[in-house]
Structure formats: C-alpha cells, structure tokens
Amino acid sequence: MATMRETYNVLLSAQKKRARGAPAYSIFVNRPVGRLLATLAFHLGWTPNQVTLVSALFTFTGIGLLAFAPLSVPLGVAIWLLLALGYAWDSADGQVARLRGGGSLAGEWLDHVVDAVKTSALHLAVLIGAYRWLGEVQPWLLVPIVFTIVANSTFFAMLLNDLLKQKRGVPTAIERGGSSTLRSLLVLPTDYGFLCLAFVTWGWFPVFQVVYALFALAAVLFWAAALVKWFRDMTAVDAALTSA
C-alpha cells in the first residue's frame, strides 16, 4: 500500500484546475489543508460521504455555538476553528473520491445539500446570536438577513450556471480554469474561508459588527455584479445556440 506521502503526491499531481474567479483562501489555504485531510481520511479507509459528514459535524457544531452559546472571546476562536476545519474537510471529500477512483451522484448530492444548509444556517445563527447579545431588535440585525439572501442566491445561481451550461455543452467555470492570482485576491472578501476568520472577533461584538457588515457589503457588491454578468453569459449562450 502507498505511504501517506505517496498518496499526498498523487493528489498534488492530480489537482483539478482552478475555477475562474476562485478566491485566494480557497486556493492557497483550504485546498492544501484539505489535501492533507484527504490523505489521512483515505488511509483511515473513510468514504467520501463519511468525510462529508465529518465536515458537517465541525461546521454545524460551530454554527450551533454561534447561535446559542454565551458570547466570549475564546468562543469566537473556537467557532472560527470549527468552521475552518469544516471547510477544509469539505474540500477533502472530493479529493478522497478521486483517490478511490471517482465520486458518485449520491455523494455529490450530499455534498451540495450540506453546503446549501450551511450557507443559510451560518448567517441565521449570526442573527440569533446577535439578537441574544443585543437584547432587542436593532437595525443592524438586517445585516445577517440580507447576507442570508445574498449568500443563498449566489450559491444557487453558481450551481444553476454550471447545470445549464453542462446541459448545452458549454464549458463551466472549472472546466475553463484560468483564475489568476490577482483575480483570486480581488475576490478574497467573498471567500467563505476568509469570512470564517471574522468570528475570531465574535467576543468583541462591536468589532464583529463592523467586520461582518464589511463582509456583507462585499458579498452584496459581488452578487450584484455577478448576476448581471451571469445573465449576459446565458444570453450569449442562447444567441450562440440559435445561430448554430
């Protein structure tokens, strides 16, 4: 049987292309950490679905603490670690699938469903935790509500983009590749892994309010620009197919 180093090198050589616009944390931090976790999981004999469930365990433990645990500085650090580890394990499940010869539709379905629940639950947990901390309804509570809408619709639109393009034989963002380092850095504020770092400030709630609101603003600006671009892309695909 291959050693862990040999398995790691296999993953490194078989690394999939970067999706166009993939943010920096996901590329330069989360994917390498996920590769290490995938190597470990493979040698433990775990299946991709088991890795997905481990990811969910870390993520939703952090989300639960965010919503219901007493607010403190150590808690914020713990939430960040749990969310970051959940994200890294989320990167590992696909890599384990590649080591085992390929994934399954059921596994891909499970992965996307967990991601969809996480996308909404994180910001709703912020809403609950913030209300418990503030003790009353305040205008700032609109921030996690807006963030929930934006994050959820962005996630849905990205999946729909790939689904519709694949249906019509058009290369997806991952198939096209070509994400530059500069582009990855520019979209860093929209990176889920980078957002996880904001929860380090959860114990300093006034600081967190500002940091989280800035992330929300970045998400809204990206969402608005991306929706316009994606609609134009779909219009262009329609035009190309009509003229073919």
pLDDT tens sequence across 143-181: 999 999 999 999 999 999 988 888 877 776 655 555 667
Higher-scoring residue by pLDDT: 225, 175 = 225
pTM of the full predicted structure? 0.90
185-216 pLDDT per residue, tens: 788 888 999 999 999 999 999 999 999 999 99
Q: How far apart are CA 180 and CA 18, in angstroms?
A: 9
The pLDDT value recorded for residue 70 is 92
Give me the count of residues in the chain.
244
- Which domains does the chain possess? 18-236 (1.20.120.1760)
Closest CA to 219 of 160, 156, 159, 146: 146
Residue 205 has a CB neighbour count (10 Å cut-off) of 15
**Does residue 87 contact residue 111 with C-beta atoms inside 8 Å?**
no
Distances in whole angstroms, Cα of residue 67 to Cα of each of 27, 44, 61, 137 = 29, 33, 10, 16
Q: Which two tokens stand for residue 51?
A: 């890795």
**At what angle are helices 105-134 and 73-99 packed, to 10 degrees?**
170
